[in-house]
Amino acid sequence: MGLKPATNPEVEAKPIELTIDGRSVSASDGVSLYDVISSTGKIVPAMCYHYTFDPFGSCGMCLVMVEGKKAPVRSCTAKAAAGMIVRTEGDDLFQARKKAVEKHLSVHPLDCPVCDADGHCELQDMAFQHQVTNLANAKQKLIPEDTRSLVLDFNMNRCIACGECINVCKDVLMIDALQFMKKGGFNQVVAKGDQPLSCEFCGDCLAVCPVGAITNKFSKYLYKPWQLKKTTTTCNYCGDGCQMHIETKDREVVRVTSPLSWKNKWGDRSETAKGHGGICVRGRFGFEYIDSKARLHHPLMRRDGQLVEAPWLEAVHSVVDRLVDIKAKHGSDAIAGLITARCTNEELYLFQKLMRVAIGTNQVDSSARYGHINFVKAAQHAVGVGRTMNDWEDLTKAKAILVVGSNLTETNPLTSVRVKDAIRIYKAQVIVVDSAQTNLARLASHPMMVKPGSEGIFVHGLVKSVIEQDLIDTVATEKHPKAFAALKDAVEKLSFESITAATGITLQQIHETAAIFAEAPRAIILCAEGIVRRSGGYEKILSLMDLAWITGKLGRPGCGVSTVTEEINEQGAVDMGAAPEFLPGQAAFNDVAARDRFAKAWGAELPATGKGATLTEILKRCRNGQVKALYVLGENPLGTLPKSMGVQAALEGLELLVCQDLFLTETARLAHVVLPACTYAEKEGTFTNLEGKVLRIRPTMDPIGESLPDWHIMTAIASGLGCQLDYESPHDIQREIMKLLPGYYNLGQPRKPTPNPDVYLSNGYSAEVKTRYQSEAATTPHAARPFALALGQVLYHSGKLSTHAPGLITIAPNTGRLHMNVKDMERLGLTDGAKVRVTTAQGKLDMSVQADLAMLPGSCFFPEHFNEPPVKDLMDVEIDRHTGVPYFKLTSAAIQKV
């Protein structure tokens, strides 16, 4: 089925008039007649239709009469045409639709009592609506259930062959994992090639299946739909911040569903530019950590070297007393705090306030320091906007997207679906610059497979190419002639020979992609982990800003430089001031006016400037004895950072280590006091997603055991420290934030920032740009350790949190294997499971290997979610001199067969 013209902004569909049930209706020529009818508010029954993908026309329910046609027509596959006279109601149509329902029911098992879709089944609804009362003659297909998949079961006795599952997978997700296959005399849905299903396991097929033919393995037979309490909330894994429904029965989470469903099938495809309502495998099947048996149920205190259960009062008193004592003896700066960006905005705000006001230190940081802060600081420095510039709609409707250093499908699967939409519906040119054959690279018009770590050099090549090919936007550059001259001068010194040698990309490809980006009317740069978490990340982002500036993409609608975040609330962490350089609202910590404002609002002096510390600086101060107490909220530096950073020594030397967490993490095991916190499913608050939308989370169940929401615990500690915070709920904190940051709570609307590089380009840019381009040209590969060893994320996990979700571990267990390129394995005489010795500057490790088609020759990969074997300890660490971000995701390694 062809593209619906109305959804493509590049296609000028002719406006037409037609008549529906006697009413004149305007529409675009060639769109589905069904869409036109539903746009008038009429709901015609439709079982195989869904607005998110192209019509299929199999169920025979959407029948209408079109003047001039003898028989009813299927309105979903019929195209609207000028002058059409359409009737949607009448006994003849009712009977025809009823016949279609009867036909489906004639081979249906009617095992409603044990079907998960009972009470939530479109076939049931249609039978009822069309008064189908004689069900006695239904035949059985007697097809054995296909339970080979890890998460989905296929009961083809119930299938009505509507094709929705196949179509959503193919059209929307561009995965195409399913097909119809004639088996046993019936058209059955099978995984491609009739193999056990191996796919992204997003579960969107399950969501759109109108009957109970696809079922969720983890919740099958556990509920009847009416027993479930459904709470709409925001996923807490990645920065996409998808909306989802957590469904609970009694005190147990039974399943997670999403706004995408067969029940929600009427809409305009162009609306999917903002999101199609689906969720990914982590959101749908990664919920079991919420009520995991491994959750902390009680506070723990260290006694005789052991962590033992203790009452809340005693644990909090102990924390407070020891903090008071340390502060009295050594001053406020003997205390520091780290918080996870999976906390809510309200908790992040409260944490920095607790550290700055109740304790009096600016040694406070969050997990945004692992990379996102690079983007925030670079974007704030260059264009005055400390966040991503584009929302999902911009991305979907872009004509060119430059994806640099991002395995988007693995890290932010739903943002990746937007790029897929841009490719399929809007025919965008997508340039993927990466050192792995990512899923998006396979779909992109211009996959640029660069040598590991050379993404930044490729960007320099683009900047140079734009200038040399005279593709610059003169309106943008003529405003800042000095800055442009400095940039020109800087890139002139780079040679294309060294760029092509360092990246492995030909000059022709560099010129071609530079032209595509520069000439596109709407072009977006999307950079992620391969930039923000790798050496020189801050400066590389500034080079991307250069590219956007000289091509006129800063400030123009639908253009910009954006990023994605791996943890849900990394943007919120920075916005709320959980970083030593920022007060809430990203006001500089040393800005006198801002300090005054917050000091007044909080009724307290702020800590002195110049004494704050970032994550790595805090750990260093722990090691050298300056910091004696560390409050770690949801963070796990010991489990995350390489051994060479001396985290263990830093923590072991503390007089007081307080860990507030869901689980007994590596860091918590060293703590003096462990405080059990709640998951996002047990508390209220908001997250700020990568589009800048502030999204609500709502409690779906009571806290597990004696665990408490983080805000509640912090309020108690602050009170104990003599800082009376009268918060009775997160709403009280929200009200305070609203007063201080008017407009921050934007009710789920993406923010539209206005990037402006004028200040940056006229102040010190010329000197800065000179050093930036010089430093990058010097990168050379390591001769003795020729492999690029990368740590990174896989689709089925998010940080270490998801490893507590059995569903996700079933799909993606820790194999402990190093992923390698097939040719490299052949060259070294290795087969899957063979043992190798991996040697880096930090040490060596014996482990087994597995072939991975995404790996380019010379690179290998290990999922960062697992520490067994401890590959992280092999990684070199470098600290960004501008932002304090610790880079440890890419290292050179030697690999030998053992």
Residue 863 interacts with which of ligand SF4, ligand FES, none, CB < 5 to 8 Å by class: none
Which residue lies nearer to ligand SF4 by CB, 206 or 619?
206
Contact 191, 197 (CB under 8 A): yes
Which residue lies nearer to ligand FES by CB, 162 or 320?
162
- Within residues 274-293, the interface with ligand FES by CB under 6 A covers none
Look up residue 751 and give its two tokens: 């923010």
Which residue lies nearer to ligand SF4 by CB, 104 or 327?
104
Which residue lies nearer to ligand FES by CB, 51 or 154?
51
Nearest approach, Cβ of residue 257 and ligand FES (Å): 22
Residue 209 interacts with which of ligand SF4, ligand FES, none, CB < 5 to 8 Å by class: ligand SF4
Nearest approach, Cβ of residue 655 and ligand SF4 (Å): 38
Exposure string of 729-744, with b = 16+ CB inside 10 Å and e = fewer, is: ebeebbebbeebbeeb
Residue 528 interacts with which of ligand FES, ligand SF4, none, CB < 5 to 8 Å by class: none
Contact 24, 64 (CB under 8 A): no
Nearest approach, Cβ of residue 278 and ligand FES (Å): 20
85-87 vs 63-66, strand pairing mode: antiparallel
878-879 vs 886-887, strand pairing mode: antiparallel
85-87 vs 15-20, strand pairing mode: parallel
Which residue lies nearer to ligand SF4 by CB, 213 or 741?
213
Residue 160 interacts with which of ligand FES, ligand SF4, none, CB < 5 to 8 Å by class: ligand SF4
Give me the residues that bind ligand SF4 (CB under 6 A), please. Answer: 159-165, 168-169, 173, 175, 177-178, 189, 199-205, 208-209, 211, 213-214, 235, 237-238, 240-242, 279-280, 282-283, 413-414, 798
Nearest approach, Cβ of residue 391 and ligand SF4 (Å): 15
Binding residues with ligand FES: total (CB under 6 A): 12
Residue 566 interacts with which of ligand FES, ligand SF4, none, CB < 5 to 8 Å by class: none
Bin 235: left if φ > 0, else alpha if -120 < ψ < 50, else beta: beta
Nearest approach, Cβ of residue 268 and ligand FES (Å): 16
Nearest approach, Cβ of residue 178 and ligand FES (Å): 18
Cis peptide, bond prior to residue 311, ω within 30 of zero: no
- Within residues 27-86, the interface with ligand FES by CB under 6 A covers 46-49, 57-62, 74, 76
Residue 240 interacts with which of ligand SF4, ligand FES, none, CB < 5 to 8 Å by class: ligand SF4
From edge to edge, which strands make up the β-sheet containing 429-434? 446-449, 429-434, 400-404, 523-527, 560-563
Residue 161 interacts with which of ligand FES, ligand SF4, none, CB < 5 to 8 Å by class: ligand SF4
String of DSSP letters for 91-138:
HHHHHHHHHHHHHHHTT----GGG-TTTTS-HHHHHHHHTT----TTP
- Alpha helix ranges (H) inside 114-203: 122-129, 164-167
User: How many angstroms separate the CA atoms of 514 and 547, rounded?
Assistant: 9
Residue 57 interacts with which of ligand FES, ligand SF4, none, CB < 5 to 8 Å by class: ligand FES
Residue 165 interacts with which of ligand SF4, ligand FES, none, CB < 5 to 8 Å by class: ligand SF4
Angle subtended at Cα 888 by Cα 886 and Cα 894, rounded to the nearest 5 degrees: 155
Nearest approach, Cβ of residue 191 and ligand SF4 (Å): 7
User: How many angstroms separate the CA atoms of 249 and 229, rounded?
Assistant: 6
Nearest approach, Cβ of residue 165 and ligand SF4 (Å): 3
Which residue lies nearer to ligand SF4 by CB, 168 or 343?
168
Residue 242 interacts with which of ligand SF4, ligand FES, none, CB < 5 to 8 Å by class: ligand SF4
Which residue lies nearer to ligand FES by CB, 58 or 551?
58
What are the φ/ψ torsions at residue 81 (nearest 5 degrees)?
A: -135, 155
- Alpha helix ranges (H) inside 181-280: 204-208
Look up residue 125 and give its two tokens: 């609804």
AA letter at 712: H
Which residue lies nearer to ligand SF4 by CB, 97 or 418?
418
Which residue lies nearer to ligand FES by CB, 60 or 286?
60
Which residue lies nearer to ligand SF4 by CB, 104 or 683?
104
Residue 736 interacts with which of ligand FES, ligand SF4, none, CB < 5 to 8 Å by class: none
Which residue lies nearer to ligand SF4 by CB, 177 or 627?
177
Nearest approach, Cβ of residue 101 and ligand FES (Å): 12
Which residue lies nearer to ligand FES by CB, 99 or 752?
99
Cα Rg, the chain, nearest whole Å: 29
CA dihedral 509, 511, 513, 519 (to 10 degrees): -160
Which residue's C-beta sits nearest to ligand SF4? 283
Closest of 217, 221, 198 to residue 206, by C-alpha:
217
CA dihedral 757, 762, 766, 767 (to 10 degrees): -100
Which residue lies nearer to ligand FES by CB, 163 or 413?
163
End-to-end Cα spacing for the chain: 54
Nearest approach, Cβ of residue 79 and ligand FES (Å): 13
Residue 59 interacts with which of ligand FES, ligand SF4, none, CB < 5 to 8 Å by class: ligand FES
Nearest approach, Cβ of residue 64 and ligand FES (Å): 10
User: How many angstroms separate the CA atoms of 768 and 276, rounded?
Assistant: 42
Nearest approach, Cβ of residue 56 and ligand FES (Å): 7
User: How many angstroms separate the CA atoms of 108 and 328, rounded?
Assistant: 75
523-527 vs 560-563, strand pairing mode: parallel
What are the φ/ψ torsions at residue 24 (nearest 5 degrees)?
A: -80, 135
Residue 323 interacts with which of ligand SF4, ligand FES, none, CB < 5 to 8 Å by class: none
Who's near 88: CB < 8 A, 6+ residues apart? 20, 21, 37, 42, 44, 64, 75
User: How many angstroms separate the CA atoms of 898 and 263, rounded?
Assistant: 56
What residue ranges bind ligand FES (CB under 6 A)?
A: 46-49, 57-62, 74, 76
